[in-house]
Chains A and B, each alone.
Chain A
Amino acid sequence: MKKTCTVNIRPLTRVEGHGNIRIKIKNGKLQEAEWSVVETPRFFEAILRGKKWDNAPWITGRICGICSIGHTLASIRAVENAFGIVPDEQTRKLRLLLKHMETLQSHTLHLCFLVMPDFMNTGSVFPLIKSHGDVVLRAAKIKKLANDVCDCIGGRRLHPTRTVVGGFTMLPEKRQLHEFSERLKEITEDLMILSDLIREFTLPDFERETEFVSLKGENDYPFIGGDLVSSDGVHMKEQDYKKMTNEYIVKGSTSKWCRLSRGSFAVGALARLNNNFDFLNPAAREVAASFDLKPVNHNPFMNNIAQLVECVHVVKESVSLIDELLDSEFGEPRQEVRPRKGVGIAAVEVPRGILYHCYRFDDKGNITKCDCVIPTGQNHANIQHDLEALAEEYAAKGKDDRELELLAAMLVRAYDPCISCSVH
């Protein structure tokens, strides 16, 4: 049994962006455990100052390549809220469908391409193409469908072109929606087969009680706008997001950190599920039950499973959304935009958690102030606290360097961090 070990991962791989992990254990006692974010900042909030409102979604979408649709939709909602634009039902449904497909593609990418190698003892998905070709192909099929829908509705799978303030520049053809509906029904089966495989993995048995923050569903599992809620009982309006995030600056990190009722909180699939379990589609709830996942679950590794559950949810919900769209007559794709002075705030659930955009406009519709609070930024403090607890626990058990290194990497990876996004 080894009592002294050092883990030094720089940078962590199979995540978006640059972060390092350092752990030191001496004589079975934890000396230090640190999650540090070293990504270069790009200063999006400053970049937008002085720019006209139509730049906001186009530029802020570029904060993140993985959740560019989420950023674009949050940005659009913030501008619309400032200008008093209320999207019609058709726009709302198309945006939600687009959002669902981003969730599906992002979760599948994370689960099958980034996380799965850990459970199959490889460094990447590439060797799995030979050894587990069927799994990789199934995941690729799901991702392709999600991306194809995004291409069709958003105009492009990343950095969408059709999504604008007021609606869409163009609408999909009903024939295309019909085809997607058939393909969505087909991949439900693929998701079930993937679930069976994932059920064979043994997730680390680790728990640390924390607070979970997400949007609060009224009648549905929430994605775009609404009240904010925490598992510690905090309930706030979308406009009061600053009181929910309480950003602060940490030495040695280029991303800001957040806190609410305790030292840290978590956002993301597990937080959404913990706070809104009853609104999940029954099929998704069944998958959750098969993993013994029910609220409030405090094992951060279960975020992977929560993502799987959400995949099933968004696929089922998308089929219904498409049915409703096919049953309705399409109206105008977009409404007119009349800029005015004011502040607009939006909260949107993107794959990695709740995302906020806030802009202040002058009377010409030029941006005088911009603020974006990113899900991974909200998770950093929680990751840090988890890492300490995990290292402490395993130091006591006398695990070796290699094992602890793998576990620490898997822990951070379970949050699906989007680091360049958190720094922006």
Chain B
Amino acid sequence: MAESRTRTYLGVPMYRPRVAFFEFSSCEGCQLQILNNESTLLDFLSLVEVVNFREAMTEQSEDYEIAFVEGSITRDDEIKRLKRIRKNAKTLVAMGSCACFGGVNQLKNRFRNPAGVKREVYGAHPVDSGPVRAVEDVVGVDLRIYGCPVSKDEVEKMVLHIAIGKSIVVPKYPVCMECKRNENICLFEFGEPCLGPVTRAGCDSWCPSNRAGCWGCRGPAEDVNLRQMIRIMEEHGFSEETITDRLECFGGFLSLMKPERGKGG
């Protein structure tokens, strides 16, 4: 057992951590990203020992060191399960926008009448569902992997860094920096809105490189000036509604927006 958990990396003995994946309210896309990078999947699996991954395996274990948690939290049974995971894990990683900020799911919090939201979908049928919360609103989080979806390269890099004990650096600068480095024509020139100037980089300007504006899925970059961003958007003729649609989409900017639309509904 001990042998199978030690590998070498650049000649240095390396620890093979036991990792577990868990999902809460989500599309499970972030987990899927792990299975989705076929060319490096096998290398990744040699780095870690996967002991829990319901979407891919039947075996389950409570003995793990790193827990990757996907999804947002809306129900009491989810809170109970999450607390147990927190107790078991040395390192708890919030994986993806749903886990980090509530993701698209938190858009339901914008309605002042939660009963109306339920009625819209289920009529008079009773359904258990509270306001959407991020993982860190319920338990302590050690690491965050941003994105909707997360980028597989980033997940792998983080795991590698944990395994070899290297510190993890997430970019503090905005998507625009990556976009310029990729030599894209700015979308504002095509009359498209884009949150690149205020969104945390690290996705390699995934959307603008495909000529689609950024919707801020990775949340705010450090020291952003949201007011100035809104002014630039307005100057380009975008309506307040378009700006709000983008800023509120994944939940990352809520704390910088109007206080009455704060987290937790």
Contact = CB atoms under 8 A, between A and B. Distances in A.
Interface of A: 11, 13-17, 40-43, 45-47, 49, 51-52, 54-55, 58-59, 62-66, 68, 109, 113-114, 117, 123-126, 129, 140-141, 143-144, 147, 155-159, 161-162, 164, 169-170, 249, 254, 420-421
A155 B27 contact: no
Interface string B12-54: 0000000000001111111111011011011001000010011
B223 interface: no
A65 B31 contact: yes
A126 B45 contact: yes
A46 B241 CA distance: 18
20 contacts: A17-B28, A40-B25, A40-B74, A42-B104, A43-B118, A46-B111, A58-B215, A64-B28, A65-B27, A109-B35, A117-B58, A123-B58, A129-B42, A144-B38, A158-B32, A158-B149, A161-B210, A162-B211, A169-B211, A420-B27
Given A41-B129, A125-B56, A249-B122, A162 B212 contact: yes
What are the 3 closest A-B residue pairs judged by CB atoms, nearest first? A65-B29, A124-B57, A123-B58
A49 B122 CA distance: 15
Contacts of A147: 36, 38
Contacts of B55: 13-16
Tell me which of B53, B121, B127 has the highest count of chain A C-beta atoms within 10 A of its own C-beta: B121
B57 A159 contact: no
B27 A64 contact: yes
Contacts of A140: 38, 41-42
B183 interface: no
A65 B149 contact: yes
Contacts of B56: 14, 113-114, 124-126
B57 A123 contact: yes
Given A52-B245, A63-B27, 9 more contacts: A13-B60, A17-B28, A40-B74, A40-B75, A41-B122, A43-B118, A65-B26, A124-B56, A140-B41
A159 B28 contact: no
Given A14-B55, A125-B56, A42 B108 contact: yes
A68 B36 CA distance: 14
A158 B105 contact: no
B29 A113 contact: no
A43 B129 contact: yes
Contact of A62 (B35, B58, B148): B148
A159 B148 contact: yes
B187 to A, nearest CB: 9
Contact of A66 (B32, B39, B53, B117): B32
A59 B250 CA distance: 10
A65 B215 contact: no
B28 A43 contact: no
A161 B206 contact: yes
A352 to B, nearest CB: 14
B78 interface: yes
Given A62-B27, A62-B29, A124-B57, A41 B45 contact: no
B29 A159 contact: yes
Contact of A14 (B39, B45, B57): B57
Contacts of B207: 155, 161
A158 B27 CA distance: 11
A107 B161 CA distance: 33
A123 B59 contact: yes
B58 A14 contact: yes
B103 interface: yes
B188 to A, nearest CB: 15
B264 interface: no
B226 interface: no
Given A40-B78, A65-B32, A156 B210 contact: yes
